[in-house]
Amino acid sequence: MKAVRAKKFLGQHFLINEEIASRITDLISNNNNKNVLEIGPGMGVLTKYLHEKNINLKLIEIDRESVLYLKNKIPELEHNIFEKDFLKINLNEVYSQNLSIIGNFPYNISSQILFKVYENYEKVDIVVGMFQKEVAERVASYSGRKKGILSVLLQTFYDIEYCFTVDENQFSPPPKVKSAVIRLVRNKRKKIDVDLKSYKMIIKAAYNQRRKTIKNALKSFNLKKDDKTKHLLKLRAENLSVNDFINITSNIQ
């Protein structure tokens, strides 16, 4: 079967190391949720290991050439392949119940994928994904300068683990940067008692002026000072925890 041509505009870098592929899929094996959606399967290096597991596997792939390749390679999955854009799909169209997500994600949309996961936190239980190493480190960082907007948003509802680093030569074509696999698992926080749009807005405002103290970064907001927030105003965004941002948001008048 003719190999799929990697397309630069889709950010395709196909994983070629079978051992790493197996390790990645094992990270989702201890999941009680049997609904698993693979994003961007390409030529199916992860798919074949997932197909061997006792799960309800579905695939979403925007590349027509990859879709045709997969239908020939694993014909049993033909009716489980969605030829669509993950960023535009309604997850309820794929699974009526909760699901887990896995994939060697295209690096040009990996952050957007994670923002969509955050927006669907009540439906997505686990995410196992390959990312550009810098992005993976940022998302999995709980403190310090690497932590950013996406880190805080995701850590609100997920426990995040940096699993392992993957070298450039494990892909075809090799990317110009190292990659890494991380795992997100839903934590025990069912919801937060603040408006989610306001919460996201506060985090973005704080990090968009991350060199300023919270007091100065959030000047445009009418922030009520109390015992829970007054000590936070002297700090910068990178020094704040998820609970700190929740407290600040609850004090916006």
Q: So what's the pLDDT on residue 128?
A: 97
* 196-250 maps to CATH 1.10.8.100: yes
Q: So what's the pLDDT on residue 37?
A: 97
Mean pLDDT in residue range 163-189: 95
Contact 142, 167 (CB under 8 A): no
Q: What is the pTM of this model?
A: 0.93
Mean pLDDT in residue range 200-228: 88
Q: So what's the pLDDT on residue 230?
A: 83
pLDDT range class, residue 226, cuts 50, 70, 90: confident
Q: So what's the pLDDT on residue 253?
A: 64
State which H helix or E strand residue 127 sits in. Answer: strand 124-132
Q: So what's the pLDDT on residue 224?
A: 79
Could you give the CA distance from residue 49 to residue 160 in angstroms, rounded to a whole number? 23
Structural domain boundaries in the chain: 8-186, 196-250
CA distances, 219 to each of 150, 206, 212 (Å): 22, 10, 11
Instruction: Please state, for a pLDDT cut of 90, what percent of the chain lies above it.
Output: 79
pLDDT in tens, 13-51: 999 999 999 999 999 976 778 999 999 999 999 999 999
- Of the candidates 156, 117, 142, the one whose C-alpha atom is nearest the C-alpha of residue 247 is 156
Q: So what's the pLDDT on residue 223?
A: 80
In which residue are the tokens 């992860």 written?
Answer: 46
Better pLDDT: 227 or 152: 152
Instruction: Please state, for a pLDDT cut of 70, what percent of the chain lies above it.
Output: 99
Could you give the CA distance from residue 7 to residue 251 in angstroms, rounded to a whole number? 48
Mean pLDDT in residue range 226-252: 89
196-250 matches 8-186 in CATH topology: no
> Average pLDDT, whole number, for the chain?
92
Q: So what's the pLDDT on residue 143?
A: 85
Q: So what's the pLDDT on residue 151?
A: 96
CATH number of 8-186: 3.40.50.150
Stretch among 21-35, 147-161, 170-184 having the lowest mean pLDDT: 21-35
Could you give the CA distance from residue 121 to residue 153 in angstroms, rounded to a whole number? 10
Q: So what's the pLDDT on residue 164?
A: 97
Stretch among 88-97, 216-225, 230-239 having the lowest mean pLDDT: 216-225
